[in-house]
Structure 1
Amino acid sequence: MSGKKLVCFHLFNDYSGSPKVLKMVLEGMLRKGYRIDLVSSKGGVLDELLSYENLHKHTYPYRFSNNPAMTMLRYCAVQLYTFLLAFRWLFQKDVVFYINTLLPVGPALAGRLMGKRVVYHYHENAFVKGAFYKTLAFLMQKLAHEIICVSAYQASFLQRKKGVTVIPNALPKEFTDRLHPNPETAFERKTVLMLSSLKEYKGTREFIELAEKLPQYKFVLVINDTEENINNYLAANKLHDLTRGGINLTIYPRQADVTSFYNTATIVIVLTNSRQAVETFGLTALEAMSAGLPVIVPTQGGIAEMVKDGNNGYKIDVQELDAVGKHICVLLDNKELYIRMANNALLFSAGFDSEKVVTKLTQIITD
């Protein structure tokens, strides 16, 4: 076991992709005996690590607001707090600062000022977002000793080439062990699943429209937010009428464990609008294929690297919603085609071994 101590910073602890991957990495390191300090907000998937004696968590309150100015104010307050907090490790030797996502720039800056090793685990693609994220990406390339990217697509946007490593994400064994792939029974369920958020580019509106157009199938939408915020969003966007009348559509709020949804689905779709945001990896697609489910994903980004069109899924942009609907019908009405694609999806997912990924990440983080 290395004598190095890891101090990990993650802004918002919820049940989305990046904290899930972080939990897998930290848990693998904790089991190997590494001492870890985790600095993040409370109430999400990372709190499941609190049972480990060699982990100490520093918690602060943080949540998003419907008011962008308020969100930015809270973000800046957390950056100032974590910048100052970081100096508690000033006199400790062999400390590595592990920055998960672009957002914790305050502790990254503090780490460099103190001469600590700073490693970024870069999950976003800042270069298809606004000036704020581009600024954070510029700072990351200046502050990081090492940048871990989750796809070749994502890494291609970085000006910096030295100290950049591509390691695709994987799923923890405790997650995949709860999945029960069975293409025969999955086909009979005729259920279309999407896991999303309330961000406009994630395709919530389009998913609801698909459910209305295809009443012969069941649609399930899991939104990573509270029931109150979901109802407010539906009301503000005049979507309540569609959801009230759609008996084939069920919407669920944030879930601590989504395996049951995969185990009761037939296919999984991702409707991210690639004109507004690009999926750098596509953890949802990997989760779906690990459950033996074909997927429909956008044509761009790291998520598109995971799908061979017509083999384990389809690549269709949300702007072609009629084409998405057509391919849903093709899959759900052709059992032989469905089973072949479901088996291909499961075979593809087997190449993402969590133990190998955690070992590679540990080597890079601790150098």
Structure 2
Amino acid sequence: MKIAIVCYPTVGGSGIVATELAYNLASFGNIVHLVSYSPPFRFNKYNENIFFHNVPITNYPLFEFPMYTISIAAKLAEIVESENIEIIHCHYAIPHTISGIIAKEIVNKFSKVKVVTTLHGTDVTLVGKQENFRKIVQYALNKTDAITCVSEFLYQSTIREFSPNKPIEVIPNFVDTNEYKRQSNPKLRRKFADDEEKIIIHISNFRKVKRVPDVVQTFSLIQKQIPSRLILVGDGPDFSEVENLIIKLNLKDKVWLLGEQTSIVELLSISDLFILTSETEGFGLAALEAMSCEVPVVCYNVGGLSEFVFDGINGFLVPLGNIELLANKSIELLRNDTLRQSFAINARKTVVKNFDSRIITEKYLNLYLSLINGSIL
């Protein structure tokens, strides 16, 4: 099969999943064309079946803002025509699905290319709810040939908000469990913490919706009872606010601010606990990656997280905004090595059984084939 995947290149679940999907599809022998305005964050390994297409954003004096949507559409139409693309897979409804639909219309006289839209979360829960975007999101969902959502939560949200005119398939996010597995590295661990200290980690893009200050406030409570260090991985709009809060709470000597990192497995492998404080999560890929590396997750019970973080089995779920309970549950795990180890083993089992990359990639391949063969109309 020949597939074009369009995504945002920045750090975040949608871009990461799109890029990892490209690698997995290529490993099945498919030809994949990645399309974005710069190489995606996780696009860092050569594969002879993957080709990257940079989208030039035209800056013409007549137009006050760059024409991103049109530029993507033009590039997609060009690739469909030159490479005989069968599937355009758009990650994030706005603007990528609109671009995919325009490209399909441009080439419809000589191509039967199909457009697949994968919804990741904020394209429905935040962007799509804005009144000035609602109708264009609904148009995109009604015009695309197939829709997938990364969680049951997002599926329900999409039905409730937009009532698309076609079925939606839930295909969750995934992890390469052969890559994301715990690796013993005592030397690296000692660089971040003493032997008697626990390591807590948080990974995100530091946007407002991630509520990273809640992580810092939670750690402030934890470290008063448990000798521990906090590793914060990522960067974004709230980075300065987080940094100032760390100083204000006198935690500078106990918190590592690492910024964006690519060696996530190494950092997860030295960690004892993953804390996630998002206000909403379409899925929660960072938590799944942590669990694959046998790191139990303590998080707010929001969005799609409860679909793989099982309270009292492989992690803890607490009500949104309850920092004290978040800290207490974290302390409960960090104090009890037997319980934490049990959660860690269960976390890994959950990911391997239900969210391994090969299992999920086959679901996408089956969807593509159904579209090409006409069994989805």
Whether TM-score is above 0.5 comes out as: yes
- Over the matched positions of the two proteins, sequence identity in percent amounts to 19
- My pick for the range that moved more, 100-109 or 130-139, is 130-139
Residue in structure 1 matched with residue 73 of structure 2 by the alignment = 83
TM-score by length of 2: 0.80
Are 2:265 and 1:271 aligned? no
Residue in structure 1 matched with residue 97 of structure 2 by the alignment = 105
Q: Which runs of 5+ in 2 are unaligned?
A: 58-63, 371-377
**Counterpart selection for 2:263 from 257, 262, 265:** 257
Residue in structure 2 matched with residue 218 of structure 1 by the alignment = 229
Judge conservation of contact 2:56–2:71 (CA < 8 Å) in 1. no
Deviation, structure 1 residue 99: 0.5
Deviation, structure 1 residue 342: 2.0
Tell me the alpha carbon deviations over residues 204-232 of structure 1, each in whole angstroms, 9 at most, x when there is no partner: 1122222333333211111244xxx6764
Rounded Cα–Cα distance in structure 2 between residues aligned with 1:43 and 1:244: 38
**Counterpart selection for 2:252 from 235, 246, 256:** 246
Residue in structure 2 matched with residue 308 of structure 1 by the alignment = 310
Are 2:294 and 1:286 aligned? no
Deviation, structure 1 residue 202: 0.7
Aligned length, in residue pairs: 340
- Residue 266 and residue 94 in structure 1: after superposition, are their counterparts in 2 closer, same or farther (change >3 A)? closer
Q: Any residues of structure 2 matched to 1:53-132 within 5 Å, and which?
A: 53-60=48-55, 77-89=67-79, 91=81, 93=84, 95-103=86-94, 104-113=96-105, 114-115=107-108, 116-129=113-126, 130-131=129-130
Rounded Cα–Cα distance in structure 2 between residues aligned with 1:291 and 1:271: 19
Residue in structure 2 matched with residue 70 of structure 1 by the alignment = none
User: SS where residue 175 of structure 1 aligns?
Assistant: coil
Judge conservation of contact 1:7–1:96 (CA < 8 Å) in 2. yes
TM-score by length of 1: 0.82
Q: Any residues of structure 2 matched to 1:118-267 within 5 Å, and which?
A: 118-129=115-126, 130-131=129-130, 134-157=134-157, 158=159, 159-160=163-164, 162-177=166-181, 179=183, 189-215=197-223, 216-225=227-236, 232-234=240-242, 238-239=244-245, 241-242=247-248, 245-267=251-273
- Residue 181 and residue 301 in structure 1: after superposition, are their counterparts in 2 closer, same or farther (change >3 A)? farther
Are 2:9 and 1:13 aligned? yes
Tell me the alpha carbon deviations over residues 259-315 of structure 1, each in whole angstroms, 9 at most, x when there is no partner: 111111111011012xxxx21111112111111121112212111221221111111
Q: Any residues of structure 2 matched to 1:350-365 within 5 Å, and which?
A: 350-351=352-353, 352-365=355-368
Letter of the aligned partner of 1:248 in structure 2? K
**Counterpart selection for 1:38 from 7, 10, 34:** 34
Rounded Cα–Cα distance in structure 1 between residues aligned with 2:80 and 2:214: 50
Deviation, structure 1 residue 79: 0.8
Rounded Cα–Cα distance in structure 2 between residues aligned with 1:94 and 1:247: 53
Letter of the aligned partner of 1:207 in structure 2? V
User: RMSD across aligned C-alpha pairs, in angstroms?
Assistant: 2.9
Rounded Cα–Cα distance in structure 1 between residues aligned with 2:294 and 2:245: 32
Judge conservation of contact 2:198–2:334 (CA < 8 Å) in 1. yes
Tell me the alpha carbon deviations over residues 339-367 of structure 1, each in whole angstroms, 9 at most, x when there is no partner: 22222222222212211211111221343
Deviation, structure 1 residue 60: 3.8
Rounded Cα–Cα distance in structure 2 between residues aligned with 1:349 and 1:288: 10
User: SS where residue 263 of structure 2 aligns?
Assistant: coil
- Residue 179 and residue 41 in structure 1: after superposition, are their counterparts in 2 closer, same or farther (change >3 A)? farther
Letter of the aligned partner of 1:40 in structure 2? S
- Residue 163 and residue 333 in structure 1: after superposition, are their counterparts in 2 closer, same or farther (change >3 A)? same
Deviation, structure 1 residue 180: 5.3
- Residue 304 and residue 136 in structure 1: after superposition, are their counterparts in 2 closer, same or farther (change >3 A)? farther
Deviation, structure 1 residue 257: 2.1
Residue in structure 1 matched with residue 60 of structure 2 by the alignment = none
**Counterpart selection for 1:324 from 318, 323, 326:** 326
Residue in structure 1 matched with residue 342 of structure 2 by the alignment = 340
Letter of the aligned partner of 1:292 in structure 2? E
Residue in structure 1 matched with residue 374 of structure 2 by the alignment = none
Rounded Cα–Cα distance in structure 1 between residues aligned with 2:245 and 2:89: 41
Rounded Cα–Cα distance in structure 1 between residues aligned with 2:196 and 2:365: 42
Judge conservation of contact 2:206–2:212 (CA < 8 Å) in 1. yes
Residue in structure 2 matched with residue 52 of structure 1 by the alignment = 47
